[in-house]
Structure 1
Amino acid sequence: MRGQDPFRLIRPAAMAGILLFALVGAALPQDEPTVQIVPPLTGWAEPMSEGQIPPLGRPITDDVRRMRNYPEQPPVIPHSIDGYQLSVNTNRCMDCHKPQFTEGSGAPMISVTHFMDRDGQVLTDVTPRRYFCTACHVQQTDVKPLVPNQFRDGYRHAGSP
């Protein structure tokens, strides 16, 4: 097959159909493409313009666990984390959420998955890839959702339609 003309392998009837389709498509009147304007979730309508920056939402500090908004969502942080130090040497979240401190603090224990390395081996301390909590967990604030959410947690609504 090497060195042969690849178009020789296409049947003449198929080639005629392809050419006819291309000719008819080129002969049709070309309307302006329909542009669907989607409201921006963040930023401004004009990409390079400057506008008023919206204020940050106030942290919700009621310590009530929130339902998740989509499957596999990491839990949100239901308290203020202003001033929390999160560095290679210090992680203030662990002061309350490590298993040995949860009884005294009343905080939920971090998941056992946070103690597993990439190979599934259980470690004695939090794995480095799960150490920086705010990479996945975000603080809950009192802002209006940007888009409507219709998600229903299947585990909590097993009997619901």
Structure 2
Amino acid sequence: MRSQDRTGLTAIARAGVGGLTAGAVVLFAALAFSQEAPRLTGADPAMENVQAPPLARPVTDDRRKARNYPEQPPVIPHSIEGYQLTLNTNRCLECHRREFVEASGAPMISVTHFMDRDFQVLADVAPRRYFCLQCHVPQTDARPLVENEFTDMSATTAE
């Protein structure tokens, strides 16, 4: 009998702590969202129907862009509209695969793309590197949503 009472009290105590925790989360959320953050995009008020802005034009100058930090994946300096990138087809490989770079003039895929997660070199592109758009992105002429204050590490050490 005694253990039954103790179990009942434990269940009541857990429910009470759970209720307090849930109440604290709701209170915190209410305080956090009471000060409205400035909107970056979209209609004001938020649920108003507005026409979508036009898509930004892709940068298509085919010039390599300087990277901003070590290990940054190169950006795509051409349009990829209409490229098929599926489990069975990767249009990027038609120019960037080692066999085709001489004819296409495109840079070759990095040798790191031919290594599996155990650093074993494969004959073809590793499955985890097959979907190029996971890391590489096309550039557009879109206006930034927020001001960029990024400074390169070498620029800060030169001062």
After TM superposition, the score normalised by the length of structure 2 is 0.68
Report the Cα distance in structure 1 between the residues aligned to 2:108 and 2:55, rounded to whole angstroms.
29
CA distance in 2 between counterparts of 1:41 and 1:71 reads 29
How do residues 1-161 of structure 1 correspond to structure 2 at under 5 angstroms? 36-69=35-68, 72-154=71-153, 157=155, 160-161=158-159
- Consecutive unaligned residues of structure 2, counting only runs of 5 or more, are 1-30
Q: Distance in 1 between matches of 2:137 and 2:32?
A: 40
C-alpha distance 149-106 of structure 1, shift in aligned 2 (>3 A): same
Q: Which deviations, in whole Å up to 9, do the C-alpha atoms of 1:27-68 show, x marking residues without a partner?
A: xxxxx9895543333434444333221111111111011233
- Cα distance in 2, alignment partners of residues 42 and 68 from structure 1: 27
CA distance in 1, matches of 2:92, 2:32: 52
- Which structure's CA Rg is the greater one? 1
Query: How many residues are matched?
Result: 129
SS at match of 1:104: helix
Read off the aligned partner of 1:82 and give its amino acid letter.
E
Structure-2 change in CA distance of 1:107 and 1:48 (3 Å): same
Percent sequence identity is 63
SS for the counterpart of 1:95 is: helix
- Higher helix proportion, which one? 2
Structure 1 CA distance for aligned equivalents of residues 59 and 125 of structure 2: 27
CA distance in 2, matches of 1:98, 1:33: 50
- In the TM superposition, residue 143 of structure 1 has moved relative to its aligned partner by 0.8
Kindly tell me: are residues 160 and 102 of structure 1, through their superposed partners in 2, closer, same or farther at Cα, counting changes over 3 Å?
farther
In the superposition, the TM-score normalised over structure 1's length comes to: 0.67
